[in-house]
Amino acid sequence: MHHALDPANIAAFLADWGYLGLFICVFVGNLGVPVPEETVLLAAGFLAGRDILELRAVYLVGTISAVSGDCAGYAFGRTGGQRLIDWLGTTFAFLKPSIERLRAFFSAHGAKAVFMARFVAGARFIAGPMAGATGMRFWRFFGWNLLGAIIWCGLVITIGYLVGDELERVAAIIHRAGHLAAAGAALAAILFWLWLRRRMRRGA
């Protein structure tokens, strides 16, 4: 029995709902709803390769939905995210140092973080709220968000377009790669924090 989120079922859903279904899936995925965005975009590209959807429209709708979802996350971070982060730091004292380090890192490297989060499964929905909560200027956020979405959506859709009859196998590979990228990003962040702390101690 196929799982509801299997590539074949997602492709069938998109064949029925078309561009509206594509927009909704990618949009809510960028808000943190557990929707496999890579598989959705792969399936959309796959359908475009069979002339069920139009390729240029898939590129356009996929990119717009990804950018819109992140912008909605940014708006939340700008309006309520700061209060939520402050509340967590106040209520759970052990979280406060980590929150302050994360805020400082994102304030210093927010543009890079917004761009790179697009390529890491499980991290995309964090970029928008954190950018808003740390006070990043909207147009700076928007520019890096748009660039990341164009490259990421274009790459995944093109793979789906070219994949032939190997949709499920390629979807599994990309899904695993996303989790490996998330693990690598976490390791890189830890190493950077250790390096920064050591440098600050030397300076002191």
Over residues 139-176, the pLDDT tens digits come to: 999 999 999 999 989 988 888 887 756 555 555 555 55
Q: What is the mean pLDDT of residues 98-126?
A: 72
DSSP category for residue 11: H
The pLDDT score that the predictor gives to residue 1 is 35
Q: Among residues 68, 70, 98, 69, which one has the least CA distance to residue 85?
A: 98
Q: What is the mean pLDDT of residues 117-126?
A: 73
Q: Identify the band that residue 185 occupies on the pLDDT scale cut at 50, 70 and 90.
A: very low
Per the prediction, the chain carries an average pLDDT of 76
The pLDDT score that the predictor gives to residue 11 is 83
Q: Within 10 A of 120 (CB to CB), how many other CB atoms are there?
A: 19
**Tens of pLDDT, residues 27-58:** 998 876 778 888 899 889 889 888 899 999 99
- List of residues 6+ apart from 18 with CB closer than 8 A: 53
Upper half-sphere CA count for residue 179 (Cβ side, 13 Å): 6
Q: At what angle do helices 138-162 and 37-48 cross, to 10 degrees?
A: 50
The pLDDT score that the predictor gives to residue 7 is 73
Q: Which two tokens stand for residue 174?
A: 């990309």
More confident residue, 115 or 168: 115
Please report, for residues 7, 43, 106, 157, the alpha-carbon distance to residue 54 in angstroms, rounded to integers and kept in the order given. 19, 13, 38, 12
- List of residues 6+ apart from 36 with CB closer than 8 A: 5, 10, 29, 171, 175
- Tell me the CA end-to-end span of the chain in Å, nearest whole number: 61
The pLDDT score that the predictor gives to residue 27 is 94
Q: Identify the band that residue 186 occupies on the pLDDT scale cut at 50, 70 and 90.
A: very low
